[in-house]
Amino acid sequence: MTAVSRRAVLGGAGAGLAVGAVGGVWGGRATAREEAAALPGQRRVAFHGPRQGGIVEPAQARVEWAAFDLVAGAGRDRAAGLLRDWSAAAARMAVGEPGGDGGGGIALDAGPSSLTVTFGFGASLFDKLGLADRRPPALAALPAFPGDALDPARSDGDLWVQIGADDALVAVHALRVLRRLSAGVAAPRWLMSGFARTPGTTPTPMTGRNLMGQVDGTNNPRPQDGDFAAKVFATGPDWMAGGSYAVLRRIRMLLDDWESLPADRQERLVGRRKSDGAPLSGGPDAGERTPVDLAATGPDGVLAIAPDAHVRVAAPASNGGAAMLRRGFSFHDGLSADGSPDAGLLFAAFQADPARGFVPVQQRLARGDGLSRFLRHEAGALFAVPPGAPEGGYVGQPLLEG
């Protein structure tokens, strides 16, 4: 099989739902030739390394999110044992090997399929393990935002697992393996599943779209940006150096209402053309990568990007430079009680400090983004995502054994 340390760029990021990035993110040391030579099922993302996978890699075709709570009486030793077992199983599955007992053998012939398994720690974990003095300040509870309707049963948790793969069977198999390994130590609190564009379904790599039909994620920070690491990765405390903080949101889209709008009204609310993601400030010859010009006006002197357009309200220039690495997946979970689609975006934002990334941007979006009328934030969480583990180690070891 073709070994890939971190998946290479397979396309640009999409346009941003303030909250979105279905089109993906980037990263990696694989060459375009290596990527082209590998079938989707053969691609590998190394589990061991200085940083966890599932942060800078392109969004895979399938994601599973799971939060767990420690069972009563499970102390630091048992929690450490669980992270040790989880890390070992994830490392095996990342190269296409069986993860151990459990999983039902459903992925025996699937290959690694770019599998990434990412672990995070919730604020509640530190109190339960007697580690309150080592809980980082950046893990402080997020403020309430206007319009939030977060369901406590589908929010927060002691431990978070993000599983991504280009084959749904591989992702579900990994979830089943990790859940079995957690028995007697941690119990599932909530589960969520999402999807993105499957690699290889377009002749050339293209930015993905969200369920509103918008190109989604274009203005994501890029690893080649000089300030990328400062925005995304934490410098401390010691056990978190090189890690990140993940803000999660389950955002339902009011698709029936959205789809009743004419396309030009949708474009005005987003600030980009629906056909190709080009900014409305760029003129007819603009493309998706044309920089947004927030000062541009039309022949009538009216701002090309409306005051309440998403791209204006979410822009770093509108938020004191605040930015985050958005990694999102669509979800479609049937129908709501009123018969409307229970569908939208599973949104994750990775950043060095939520107080300087997600919080100021979301506060502004909640108050001034025209898209907010078509979105419902229904669940949320914040997790510390430790750095990666070296060979023979496990994620979180410096904290749990320090």
| pLDDT above 80: residue 23 | no
With tokens 């999102």, the residue in question is: 328
pLDDT of residue 104: 78
292 contacts 271 by C-beta, under 8 angstroms: yes
pLDDT of residue 57: 93
| pLDDT above 70: residue 121 | yes
In a domain, 107, yes or no: yes
Question: In the structure, what pLDDT confidence band is assigned to residue 62 with cuts at 50, 70 and 90?
Answer: very high
| pLDDT above 70: residue 109 | yes
In a domain, 26, yes or no: no
pLDDT of residue 402: 87
Which ranges of 95-167 does DSSP label H, i.e. alpha helix?
123-128
Tokens found for residue 147: 């319009």
| pLDDT above 70: residue 376 | yes
Question: In the structure, what pLDDT confidence band is assigned to residue 296 with cuts at 50, 70 and 90?
Answer: very high
In a domain, 387, yes or no: no
pLDDT of residue 25: 43
Backbone region of residue 57 per phi and psi (left: phi > 0; alpha: psi in -120 to 50; beta: other values) = beta
Residue 232 CA to residue 228 CA, distance in Å, equals 6
| 6: helix, strand or coil | coil
Tokens found for residue 395: 């994620």
In a domain, 303, yes or no: no
381 contacts 66 by C-beta, under 8 angstroms: no
pLDDT of residue 140: 97
As a whole-number percent, the residues of the chain with pLDDT over 90 amount to 81
What would the mean pLDDT of 277-285 be, rounded to a whole number? 95
The one catalytic residue among 69, 166, 216, 353: 216
Q: Which residue has the higher pLDDT, 172 or 11?
A: 172
pLDDT of residue 294: 97
CA distances 193 to 48, 295, 380, 393, Å, are 25, 39, 14, 28
pLDDT of residue 203: 79
| 157: helix, strand or coil | coil
Give the residue numbers spanning the domain of 117.
32-206+233-243
pLDDT of residue 17: 52
Question: In the structure, what pLDDT confidence band is assigned to residue 4 with cuts at 50, 70 and 90?
Answer: very low
| pLDDT above 90: residue 309 | yes
| pLDDT above 70: residue 28 | no
In a domain, 164, yes or no: yes
pLDDT in tens, 264-274: 999 999 999 99
In a domain, 280, yes or no: no
In a domain, 360, yes or no: no
With tokens 């950046």, the residue in question is: 138
Q: Which residue has the higher pLDDT, 146 or 40?
A: 146
H/E stretch holding 173 reads helix 168-181
Domain count, the chain: 1
The lowest-confidence range among 12-16, 154-158, 233-237 is 12-16
Judge whether 158 counts as a catalytic residue. Answer: no
The lowest-confidence range among 28-37, 43-52, 298-307, 382-391 is 28-37
| pLDDT above 70: residue 2 | no
What would the mean pLDDT of 190-207 be, rounded to a whole number? 88
358 contacts 349 by C-beta, under 8 angstroms: yes
Chain centroid to Cα 19, Å, comes to 10
Residue 322 CA to residue 309 CA, distance in Å, equals 18
pLDDT in tens, 237-254: 999 999 999 999 999 999
Question: In the structure, what pLDDT confidence band is assigned to residue 33 with cuts at 50, 70 and 90?
Answer: very low
Pairing of strands 244-253, 341-351: antiparallel
Q: What is the mean pLDDT of the chain?
A: 90
pLDDT in tens, 131-177: 999 999 999 999 999 999 999 999 999 999 999 999 999 999 999 99
| pLDDT above 90: residue 341 | yes
In a domain, 309, yes or no: no
Question: In the structure, what pLDDT confidence band is assigned to residue 20 with cuts at 50, 70 and 90?
Answer: very low
What would the mean pLDDT of 319-326 be, rounded to a whole number? 94
pLDDT of residue 288: 92
Which ranges of 236-307 does DSSP label H, i.e. alpha helix?
255-259, 263-270
pLDDT in tens, 219-229: 889 899 999 99
